Amino acid sequence: MRGRKIILHATMEYSLWLANPRMSILLVLLVLIHSMVIQPLAQAGGQIGARFHLLEPLAALFNSTLIQLILPIGFLILMAGFPRMERGFLLQLYRVGRLNWVLGELLHLAMAAVTYLTVVLAGTMLCSLPYVPTAGPGWSAVATDYTAILEDAALKTVAVLLPKNLYQQMGPGAAVTGSLLLLFLCLMLMGAVLLAASLIRAQFLGIAADAALLLVGAGFVILDSPCMWGFPCAHTLIWLHFTPYLRTPVCPLWASWLYFLLGIGLASALACAAARRRSFDSILEFD
């Protein structure tokens, strides 16, 4: 195992990924975020004469069950074809080494996930700036008082985007940071499953497994079933870890970190084992 080969391979794959025309999907994603998150918060602020906090659209973005489906699916679309095993793959594999290739793909996956989240983060904040949001350590009145002020006349969307479990348990900075980490681990898990499935010649099974984990998990969250903790969606939504008032968490955050790390570790180990055992003798397989 050589670190230089791993980094060079990851950098090459990352450069090709950045040049992919599918990156334009990020613009579509930002339009959805603006209409589904930023506009409702701005409308709510206008109703009570208050401005939302700069970080509140991000906190709402990372804690909406629906958008927690959209964000991973958007990433999976951008990572379609991962890992890239096309013409010239065998030469690259023999030059880099099997284990180095797998680790390089995992590093490329991490770089892609960080880039994806950075674009979503920066894009959401830029889309929020025209509404002149506030800044500070605490939540705005849009999050904490909006529903209490307007009661039945309040937009139901705002209570769903910023639930009490979130703003009564932590500040906006902690909510965004914690949610970003959990979402990053979720994206890594999805990508690691794709990598392992490709190496055991079951790429479609990997795509189906990722889709099932996301959709079934979101369904259990909507139904508020205890089974939701067996799926990534619940572990990604930081507000689900708490009740509205009690400090004792429903599920400790460290348990969610461990859930994702174990999943990533198992999928990565399977990928390494499959790469060592798989026969790559036929170049026709990658034409």
pLDDT in tens, 226-284: 999 999 999 999 999 998 877 778 999 999 999 999 999 999 999 999 888 876 655 44
Q: What contacts 67, CB < 8 A, 6 or more positions away?
A: 33, 36, 37, 61
Supply the pLDDT for residue 69.
86
Q: Are 82 and 10 in contact (CB under 8 A)?
A: no
Please determine, for residue 287, whether its predicted confidence score (pLDDT) is greater than 60: no
Assess whether pLDDT exceeds 50 at residue 28: yes
pLDDT at 145 over 80: yes
Q: Can you count the helices (H) and strands (E) in the chain? A: 15, 0
HSE-up (13 A, CA, CB side) for residue 246: 8
133: pLDDT confidence band, cut at 50, 70 and 90?
Answer: confident
Q: Please tell me which residue, 96 or 36, carries the higher pLDDT value.
A: 36
State the Cα–Cα distance between residues 264 and 273, nearest whole angstrom: 14
Q: Which residues pair with 134 in a beta bridge?
A: 53
Which residue in 105, 81, 79 sits closest to 264, CA to CA? 105
156-194 confidence digits (pLDDT tens): 788 888 888 888 889 999 999 999 999 999 999 999 999
What's the pLDDT at 248?
78
Cα torsion 35, 235, 80, 195 to 10°: value is 170
CA dist list (Å): 93 to 2, 13, 137, 146: 14, 13, 50, 57
Query: How many CB atoms are located within 10 Å of the residue 244 CB?
Result: 12
Nearest-angstrom CA–CA distance, 35 and 125? 14
Domain edges within the chain: 3-279
pLDDT band at 38 (very low <50, low <70, confident <90, very high): very high
More confident residue, 90 or 26: 26
Q: What are phi and psi of 25, to 5 degrees?
A: -65, -20
| Mean pLDDT of all residues in 126-153 | 85
According to the model, what pLDDT value does residue 263 have? 96
pLDDT value of position 283: 45
80-105 pLDDT, tens digit each: 888 887 766 677 777 788 888 899 99
